[in-house]
């Protein structure tokens, strides 16, 4: 992983622009361009900097997003001109949509979030203005979930119960944005009854495509493990709650059966893949007709990259259940997957999902392996490796698929090697995080591979050691081993 580049703060950039104008007598646009060039030459990243500042005649600078936010914050929150506030909100939303840097600058420079929440409460009787406030809030908190307070969460949940489809839509969107990369917000929402609330919204608005998409995304946001600030999350618990308490599998599949909209189907299948976290949930999807539905949609939309990618992702997940794995292979799924791989060779996500799905289906099942080989699945896997030589996801899953196709069916080695598998897998060893999978594939293919013995236990040394020597051995190893290895070594010593 590459290290982040050097960064500066907004005031530093603004000061350099000001100096360019005052000292070098550059025009405002030239001053900004020169400042950008200077910082980039020094290897400084500017993706956290707002560069579209305005310069006045006296050389002072200001940012439109800050100016508009300050103007809104100065307004009376109870007595105001709705048309003027709406026009100002539209300008703020436009600025916030430009980049995360604009949103962060507005948050640091003004109390914009608190102001928007205040207007959301006071505008409750004005549906048109309420929608505009929620739209602006959605743009503003995108990527800034830390701004969301407990009071705001309560407000979002209340608005989501509105009979107005637009208010409900934007309330659910705000809930989703509040949950992304913020585990505490997720748990607070769930504790406040979000899961059954989303199920109720889905039931009440099953004819509204936009709300279905937002609810699906909100469900998925609860199953994320993306907050680096917490040691663990409740993604699995949330997924289980969504399935058991909200009966989401039944709801989503029922809606999917009555829809032909590509975007809606793609969202539903993406959500199903996140909810199939237990063996019985995988079987439940099949029992509810989910497998037949997915195969039918897959067959009818094999050229639709997004739908195909999401469906194959779900098939990969539910095929972790051995009974489902058999059902998937008995259908025409392997053939359709290979056809999709041929159609969408340039799609990294689809190739990775397809290779992973074939790897799962073929795991410890010679009959399934035979079916995949008959569909020329091995050819499609190797082609994916050729098209995406630097993709960790594709190379890793492809190596797993190759290994599973030959691990219990040695007769397939010659057919796979004849297509140049040895060279491709050897190349995969140099792709990050693929070395172990590539070595395993080469080993099972019968190719030359160097297997390194990473640690050698000298049993006799520990057998004859006294308790004092055990301590010395452990103390000598702690500086060189990680925590897990030290614990393992301690258990080994204790055993003898």
Residue 160, burial from CB neighbour count under 10 angstroms (0-12, 13-18, 19+): buried
At 457 the pLDDT is 65
Structural domain boundaries of the chain?
10-62, 459-495
CA distance 123 to 119: 6
Residue 10 binned pLDDT confidence (cut-offs 50, 70, 90): very high
**408 is written with which tokens?**
């219990």
At 460 the pLDDT is 52
Q: Is the pLDDT of residue 318 over 60?
A: yes
Closest CA to 183 of 236, 229, 127, 128: 229
CA distance 256 to 307: 12
Residues 108-165 pLDDT 10s:
999 999 999 999 999 988 999 999 999 999 999 999 999 999 999 999 999 999 999 9
Helix (H), strand (E) counts: the chain: 30, 2
% residues pLDDT > 70 (the chain): 89
CA distance 146 to 158: 20
Average pLDDT (290-300) is 95
At 495 the pLDDT is 44
Beta-sheet strands, E only, within 37-150: 54-55, 61-62
At 62 the pLDDT is 84
Residues 6+ apart with CB under 8 A from 397: 352, 355, 356, 359
Q: Is the pLDDT of residue 439 over 80?
A: yes
Average pLDDT (275-297) is 97
CB burial string 379-401: b at 16+ within 10 A, e below: bbbbbbbeebeebebbbbbbbbb
Average pLDDT (11-19) is 90
CA distance 26 to 28: 6
Residues 6+ apart with CB under 8 A from 434: 392, 395, 396, 399, 428
Residue 266 binned pLDDT confidence (cut-offs 50, 70, 90): very high
Residues 372-388 pLDDT 10s:
999 999 999 999 999 99
CA distance 234 to 227: 11
Residues in the chain, total: 496
CA distance 306 to 274: 16
Q: Is the pLDDT of residue 6 over 90?
A: no
Strand partners, 44: 6
Q: Is the pLDDT of residue 430 over 60?
A: yes
At 391 the pLDDT is 97
The answer to whether 49 and 8 have CB atoms below 8 angstroms apart is: yes
At 496 the pLDDT is 41
SS (H, E, C) 136-186: HHHHHHCCCHHHCCHHHHHHHHHHHCCCCHHHHHHHHHHHHHHHCCCHHHH
CA distance 154 to 385: 49
Residue 27 Cα to chain centre, angstroms: 43
Q: Is the pLDDT of residue 359 over 90?
A: yes
At 492 the pLDDT is 46
Residues 73-104 pLDDT 10s:
999 988 889 999 999 999 999 999 999 999 99
Q: Is the pLDDT of residue 483 over 70?
A: no
At 467 the pLDDT is 61
The answer to whether 331 and 295 have CB atoms below 8 angstroms apart is: yes
At 59 the pLDDT is 58
Mean of per-residue pLDDT scores for the chain: 91
Residue 420 binned pLDDT confidence (cut-offs 50, 70, 90): very high
CA distance 412 to 431: 25
Tokens 């009555």 belong to 258
Phi, psi of 223 (to 5 degrees): -105, 10
* Cβ atoms within 10 Å, residue 231: 6
**283 is written with which tokens?**
């079987």
Residue 489 binned pLDDT confidence (cut-offs 50, 70, 90): very low
% residues pLDDT > 90 (the chain): 79
């Amino acid at each position: 992983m590459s290290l982040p580049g050097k960064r500066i703060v907004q005031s530093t950039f603004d000061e350099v622009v000001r100096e360019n104008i005052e000292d070098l007598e550059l025009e405002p646009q030239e001053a900004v361009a020169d400042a950008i060039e200077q910082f980039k030459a020094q290897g400084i990243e500017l993706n956290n900097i707002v560069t579209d500042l305005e310069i006045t005649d006296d050389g002072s600078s200001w940012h439109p997003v800050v100016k508009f936010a300050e103007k809104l914050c100065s307004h009376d929150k109870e007595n105001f001109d709705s048309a003027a506030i709406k026009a100002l909100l539209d300008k703020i939303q436009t600025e916030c949509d430009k980049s995360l840097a604009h949103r962060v600058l507005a948050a640091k420079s003004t109390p914009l979030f608190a102001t928007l929440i205040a207007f959301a409460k006071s505008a409750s009787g004005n549906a048109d203005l309420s929608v505009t406030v929620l739209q602006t809030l959605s743009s503003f908190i995108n990527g800034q979930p830390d701004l969301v307070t407990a009071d705001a969460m309560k407000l979002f949940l209340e608005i989501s119960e509105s009979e107005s489809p637009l208010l409900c839509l934007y309330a659910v969107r705000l809930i989703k944005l509040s949950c992304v990369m913020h585990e505490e917000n997720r748990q607070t929402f769930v504790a406040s009854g979000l899961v059954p609330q989303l199920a109720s919204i889905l039931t009440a608005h099953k004819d509204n495509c936009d709300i279905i998409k937002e609810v699906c995304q909100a469900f998925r946001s609860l199953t994320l493990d993306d907050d680096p600030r917490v040691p663990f999350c409740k993604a699995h618990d949330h997924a289980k709650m969504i399935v058991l308490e909200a009966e989401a599998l039944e709801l989503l599949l029922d809606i999917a059966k009555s829809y032909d909209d590509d975007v809606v189907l793609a969202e539903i299948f993406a959500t199903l893949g996140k909810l199939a976290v237990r063996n019985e949930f995988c079987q439940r999807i099949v029992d509810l007709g989910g497998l037949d539905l997915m195969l039918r949609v897959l067959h009818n939309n094999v050229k639709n990259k997004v739908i195909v990618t999401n469906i194959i992702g779900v098939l990969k997940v539910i095929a972790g259940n051995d009974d489902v794995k058999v059902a998937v292979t008995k259908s025409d799924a392997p053939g359709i997957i290979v056809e999709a791989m041929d159609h969408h060779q340039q799609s990294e996500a689809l190739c990775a999902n397809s290779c992973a799905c074939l790897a799962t289906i073929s795991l410890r099942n010679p009959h399934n392996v035979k079916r995949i080989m008959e569909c020329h699945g091995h050819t499609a896997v190797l082609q994916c490796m050729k098209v995406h030589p630097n993709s960790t996801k594709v190379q890793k899953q492809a190596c797993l698929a190759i290994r599973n196709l030959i691990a219990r069916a040695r007769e397939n080695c010659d057919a796979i090697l004849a297509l140049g598998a040895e060279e491709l897998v050897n190349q995969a060893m140099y792709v990050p995080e693929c070395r172990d999978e590539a070595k395993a594939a080469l080993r099972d293919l019968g190719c030359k591979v160097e297997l390194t013995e990473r640690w050698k236990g000298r049993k006799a040394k520990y057998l004859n050691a006294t308790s004092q020597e055990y301590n010395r051995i452990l103390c000598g190893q702690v500086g060189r081993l990680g925590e897990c290895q030290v614990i393992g070594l301690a258990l080994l010593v204790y055993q003898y």
